[in-house]
Amino acid sequence: MATEAQADCLFCKIVTGDVPATIVRETETTVAFRDINPQAPTHVLVIPKVHRPDIAALAASHPQIAADVLTTAGEVAAMEDLVDSGYRVVFNTGSGAGQTVFHAHAHLLGGRGLNWPPG
Ligand code: AMP
Ligand code: ZN
C-alpha cells in the first residue's frame, strides 16, 4: 500500500529513524530535516511521513497532508528567520526536473539571494 514505508526508500528510512538526519521539525504528518548537500545557508527538506512518489501523487491521494507539507515549510522558514528576507519552496518533479529521490519532498531554500528563473 502506498502509505506504508517502502523498504527501498531513503526518505521512508529517515521517517522511521533507520537513516539518521538532522531533523528540525516533526509534526503528526511531516518531517523536516537538513539537506545533506545544502545549496543555500538554509536548505531543509520537508517530507510527508506517508510514501508517495511525488507531490502531485500526494496531493491526489492525501490533499490535507500535501497542505501540511506547505504549512511545515512555512513554520521552518519562520524558525530559520527567513520571513523578511524571503525564501523559496521547490518541488522537483520527475527526473527531467532533477528529482532523484522518489518520495515527495519540498526543498526550502533561503539565507542568500535566489535567482529567477532557476536553472
Ligand atoms: P531531489 O533531487 O529534488 O530529489 O532532492 C533530493 C535531495 O535529497 C537532494 O538535495 C539531496 O542532497 C538530498 N539528500 C540525499 N540523501 C540525503 C540524506 N541522507 N539526508 C539528507 N538529504 C539527503
Ligand atoms: Zn518513501
> For position 3, what pLDDT does the model report?
60
- Which residues lie near ion ligand 2 (Cβ < 5 Å)? 6, 9, 11-12, 51, 103
> For position 119, what pLDDT does the model report?
82
C-alpha cell at 66: 500535501
> For position 62, what pLDDT does the model report?
98
Q: Is the CB of 101 under 6 A from ligand 1?
A: yes
| pTM recorded for the entire structure | 0.97
> For position 70, what pLDDT does the model report?
98
Q: For each of the domains in the chain, give its residue range(s) and CATH number, in order of start.
A: 10-110 (3.30.428.10)
| Residues lower than pLDDT 70 in the chain | 1-3
> For position 114, what pLDDT does the model report?
97
Nearest to 21 by CA among 8, 31, 6: 31
